[in-house]
Structure 1
Amino acid sequence: MPVKMTLTKGKVPVKIYTEEIESSALEQLDNISQLPFIHHHVAAMPDVHTGIGATIGAVIPTKGAIIPAAVGVDIGCFVGETKIPLLDGTQLTLQELVERGGEHWVYAIDSQGQITGAKAIAKLTRNNAPLMKVILDNDEEIICTPDHQFMLRNGQWGEAKDLHPKTSLMPFYSRLEIEPNLHRYNHQVKSVEPLEQRQDVYCLTVPEYGNFALSAGVFVHNCGMNATRLSLTASELPDTLKRVRLAIEEAVPVGFDMHKSIQAQNSTIKNLNSGLEKIIEQHPTIAKMLKKIHKTWTQQLGSLGGGNHFIELCLDENQNVWVMLHSGSRGIGNTIGRYFIDLAKKDMEQHLIQLPDRNLAYFSEGAKHFDDYVEAVHWAQEYALSNRREMMRLILEALHRELPPFTVTKEAINCHHNYVAIEEHFGEQVFLTRKGAIRAGEGELGIIPGSMGAKSYIVQGKGNPESFSSCAHGAGRRMSRTEAKRRFNKNDMALQTQGVECRKDKGVIDEIPGAYKSIDAVMENQNDLVEIVHTLKQVVCVKG
């Protein structure tokens, strides 16, 4: 469906893809449209609803500034000259791939460790980024941002800044058939050194696998969230799924709970700790805002949290079993976000800048706090990624104990919904913030989950320019949590979640399906933005 409503009171229009929107959300969108650095227009997705400062479901293009309350983080990667091998036997630089646009077939590694072909989209990810050089034992040089992740030989991940001589990387033998002796190359780090210059950097989005090969001969990471398909079908599931739910809840702490001890690998903890220590050194107040900060972030790694976060077992239209996961950066990410929102407010007061809403306080590009914010929230995004990866590992281990033998047959989704990226829209390069929205570029895959008792969708984007190649990230709330608790009871929860193995007690009443918009209506309102690839129905849902 096309745009349903347009607001015209601000400096730019606001284009809204639904008529179901509360007055407070309309007011927030109007406030955003009055900021002086908004580019062209603001888009509001069909699941739009009131948030803190910036509306959830808003897509906000800005020039020269980022609004922390809109939850922004940029993912840096490689310089434009970095070469990528393509399936047709050619190789192009990342910058050339961006200039060509569209999808490109690259090499990736699947969940079984096998090299496969995958569709990818190239994009500019950050201007003027810090760089370092990684030299391999085949004398190939890779210039990237210090935080970009490389696949290690054991299948784990390590950031560029944490690599060291003789670190073994996952090899990609692009010329193996021609020169078999290359087995001794393309797998080990020779040296790592920081560079003084800064440069624009690029990356590939590889929705199905989350990694891709460089011509230099190694595999690297792209950031995202996975929905995983298993080799099981509905007929292989037990008649009652309560034991399955309880096994997941035992393996993955939910709500305010965390692990009793550190569960993640030492390398993951070490990599994250080094980045956090730098942030705390620059902004020591962050350490005072979270009780027992080091114990908390390490033992929350691999835990779900509460609110709208979930773990689900779903069936698609072919009765295949999927595991779907939605979570974030837990207490440490929340702390970092609150700290920088407050810092932005203080900056606005210091410079006597008047805003329509204090929560729309922003950092201007080039200011010290801007760079610190990008670095800190990038760390939080990496933490969220590690958190989901650790949870998926724990979930699959639990399922292996309760279900017949299975394998992972597809990891399908790269899907952030609170972030900012540098993209080109309507003739300008902008910081595009998606708050509670996902990228839906042409051919890109995404997840759009419904509520606990509804359907969810795997979708493919249409690249609609009016939505800035974006779409809804879920059903979207139709009422507050307080209102849901007042209006509904346990009997309502049991009725609305029939056929789903889940908690049905008063502790999750605020997540009752009736508190959310109809996912069918949301999907109808964005049929100009995405097409449905798979329709999933929950059979198990774990909530905090």
Structure 2
Amino acid sequence: MTQLLKSIEKSMGNKLSGKDLIKLGFPQNNTINIALGQISRYRKGDKKDHILLEAKDVLLSPDKYLGHGTWGKVAEGLIKPVEVRKQELLNHRVPFQIYGENEIDEVAKRQLYDALKLPVAIQGALMPDAHSGYGLPIGGVLATNNAVIPYGVGVDIGCRMSLSVFDLPASHVKGREFQLRNILKDNTAFGLNESQTNRSDHAILDHAAFQDIPLLKSLKDKAYKQLGSSGTGNHFVEFGVVELFEDYPGWKLGKGRYFAVLSHSGSRGLGANIAKHYSQLATKQCPLPKQVQHLAWLDMDTHDGQEYWLAMNLAGEYAKACHDDIHRRLAKALGARVRLNIENHHNFAWKELLNGQEVIVHRKGATPASEGTLGIIPGSMTTPGFIVVGKGKEDSINSASHGAGRLMSRGACKEKISKSQMEKVIAEAGIELIGGAVDEAPMAYKDIHTVMKLQEELVDVLGTFTPKIVRMAK
């Protein structure tokens, strides 16, 4: 070891180079570029001699570094390098099903058709709320073979719904509008410029991945600051009225009408940064034709594929923690107990069995709807959302819509809808809105009743949620 230190000291300059790694014995291939990239990204402040000592150990015993945050990718390169080769689309589509085809724009359908030609594709589906996006269309579902597509999950990883029904009657909202409005304003935070005044600690912040994966370690402070907050765009927190149509097994509440809160948001800056980082890696490792470059995937047998899977799942747990914190704050301010909670992701990937085969199911703006799975599908702010239970339809890859779906793009809304028009429609529906913008006007969305009609074979409706006071980003 003393001789190694002496040789390192002789080779030391101001910056570690490929020549330093070659002197250690690294093979003169892409492993050196990988090592330099990892060191530059994650070990920039460390002393050169310490880095070279670690690098030498990785070279001698790569097996023990597999999965390591900094050195795992280097070890993989030494043992079994990831093959980078241009991917070609198949000349045929894998099986698929479209629900509500007449309600879906042609661009969204073409995006699904392209995804169905990926060499890793197994089966696809399009939900009736679908519209165009990046990579997979919003409302798109894709099952793949041992591959995960970061843009198939989406930028807002773990974007989800959470409905809490309180031990309060539906009439609780009457005469308390001013008080409830203030409770919403005081206990929610939206967008980049707002955070909770009194921040909460949460077990999710102690997750090992925040320590083990360097990218996540760098994002932990952001995650702490944004815990319990909601994003911009179509994210919201709403007070409203739930009507349960039946006494569902396992629920502590029977059929009837109750006061409730519904929230919609995801993993905030944590998820966005994870999506950006691993999407870039996927694009480099899986070159695709230009029109489908957003569908680049990570092989689940590679270091980056496994690391993304861990990071994605952490982002999903973090999104849940944000909703839990919001609902806890609101319950405390109301002085009420939560008697029933229903929640689900709709931007995520799962390992599931499909026709007896384990696949990776991407639901980008789609609700899990396997048999017996509960979920909540919202409408617009002037229409009800629906509490549902899945029927387990394999043609839909056990999925349903995640909402009403956009009828107009955000740009079109800004051109065609005025603030006064939006306010008139909202007022006529008896809704009070805090924040919000014209790109979230009720007219921007499809008719939720039509969407629900088009997926009757996918879900059963157990109840509804009707918004009364809505808060969104300014």
TM-score by length of 2: 0.73
Q: Could you tell me which amino acid in structure 2 is paired with residue 313 of structure 1?
A: F
Match of 1:298 among 202, 220, 224: 224
| Closer/same/farther in 2, CA of residues 240 and 264 from structure 1, 3 Å limit | closer
TM value normalised by structure 1: 0.64
1:384 aligns with 2:319: yes
Is 1:347 aligned to 2:285, yes or no?
Answer: yes
Distance between the aligned counterparts of 1:310 and 1:473, measured in 2? 14
1:261 deviates by 5.3
Q: Match of 1:279?
A: 213
Cα distance in 1 for residues equivalent to 2:272 and 2:262: 23
Q: Select the structure of larger CA radius of gyration.
A: 2
CA distance in 1, matches of 2:178, 2:413: 25
The residue that corresponds to 1:27 in the other structure is: 110
Aligned partner of residue 226 in structure 1, secondary structure: strand
C-alpha distance in 2 between matches for 1:269 and 1:536: 29
Aligned counterparts, 1:235-246, within 5 A: 235-239=171-175, 241-246=177-182
1:312 Cα deviation after fit: 1.2
Q: What residue in structure 2 maps to residue 67 of structure 1?
A: 149
Q: What amino acid does structure 2 have at the position aligned with 1:237?
A: V
Cα pair 2:99 2:454 within 8 Å, conserved: yes
In structure 1, the partner of 2:357 is 428
Match of 1:410 in 2: 340
Structure 1 residues 339, 357: closer, same or farther in 2, change over 3 A? same
Write the distance in 1 (CA, Å) between the matches of 2:393 and 2:171: 39
Instruction: Check the 8 A contact 1:494/1:504 in 2, yes or no.
Output: no
Which residue of the other structure, out of 221, 235, 251, is the alignment partner of 1:309? 235
Determine the structure 2 residue equivalent to 1:536.
Answer: 465
Query: Offset of 1:259 from its aligned partner?
Result: 2.5
Alignment-mate amino acid for residue 453 of structure 1? T
Match of 1:523 among 447, 452, 463: 452
Question: Which AA in structure 1 matches 2:213?
Answer: I
Aligned equivalent of 1:474, options 403, 407, 422: 403
Q: Structure 1: how far apart are the matches of 2:222 and 2:350? A: 29
Q: Does 1:360 align with 2:298?
A: no
Aligned equivalents of 1:355 and 1:38: distance in 2? 18
Q: 1:396 to 1:487 in 2, by over 3 A?
A: same
Once the 2 structures are TM-superposed, how far is the Cα of residue 268 of structure 1 from its aligned partner?
A: 2.6
Distance 1:271 1:52, change over 3 A: same
Answer yes or no: is 1:38 the counterpart of 2:136. no
Amino acid at match of 1:440: A
State whether residues 166 and 260 of structure 2, in contact with CA within 8 Å, keep that contact through their aligned partners in structure 1: yes
Measured in 2, the distance between the counterparts of 1:423 and 1:269 equals: 25
User: Whole-Å Cα distance in 2 between the matches of residues 260 and 418 of structure 1?
Assistant: 24
Q: Does 1:463 align with 2:399?
A: no
1:396 aligns with 2:325: no
CA distance in 2, matches of 1:10, 1:396: 53
8 Å CA contact 1:229–1:323 kept in 2: the answer is yes
Contact 2:238 2:263 in 1 (8 A): yes
1:298-343: per-residue Cα shift (whole Å, max 9, x none)? 1110111111111111213333112111111111111111111111
Q: 1:343 to 1:259 in 2, by over 3 A?
A: same
Equivalent residue of 1:36, what SS? Answer: coil
Q: Is the 8 A contact 2:392 2:398 kept in 1?
A: yes
Alignment deviations for residues 402-446 of structure 1 (CA, whole Å, 9 cap, x no partner): xxxx332222x2311111112121232211111111111222211
Contact 2:121 2:142 in 1 (8 A): yes
Question: Which protein has the bigger helix share?
Answer: 2
Secondary structure of 2:294's counterpart equals: helix
Structure 2 vs 1, CA of residues 275 and 502 (structure 1 numbering), >3 Å: closer, same or farther? Answer: farther
Shift of 1:30: 1.2
Partner of 1:153: none
Q: How far off its partner does 1:484 sit?
A: 0.9
> Secondary structure in 2 aligned to 1:247?
helix
Amino acid at match of 1:22: D
CA distance in 1, matches of 2:391, 2:196: 45
CA RMSD, 1 decimal:
2.5
Do residues 51 (structure 1) and 133 (structure 2) align? yes
Match of 1:138 in 2: none
Equivalent pair of 2:153/2:349 in contact (CA under 8 Å): yes
Mapped pair 1:227 → 2:163: yes
Change (3 A) 1:363 1:489: same
- Quick one: distance in 1 between partners of 2:325 and 2:137? 30
Asked whether the equivalents of residues 210 and 220 of structure 2 are also in contact (C-alpha less than 8 Å), the reply is no
2:434, 2:199 → 1: CA distance? 29
Give the secondary structure class of the aligned counterpart of 1:415: strand
Amino acid at match of 1:304: S
Q: Do the aligned residues in 2 keep the contact of 1:12 with 1:33 (CA within 8 Å)? A: yes
Q: Distance in 2 between matches of 1:297 and 1:502?
A: 30
Task: Give the drift of 1:500.
Answer: 4.3
Structure 1's 461 and 327: CA in aligned 2 closer, same or farther, altered over 3 A? same
Q: Contact conserved, 1:262 with 1:298, CA < 8 A, in 2?
A: no
Hey, what's the Cα distance between the residues in 1 that align with 2:221 and 2:417?
37
Bigger drift between 58-67 and 244-253 goes to 244-253
Structure 2 letter corresponding to 1:407: R
Q: Which residue number in structure 2 is paired with residue 334 of structure 1? A: 272
Q: Counting strand residues as a fraction of each chain, which structure ranks higher?
A: 1
Same amino acid, percent of matched pairs: 35
The residue that corresponds to 1:162 in the other structure is: none
Partner of residue 199, structure 1 = none
Distance in 1 (alpha carbons) for counterparts of 2:199 and 2:349: 30
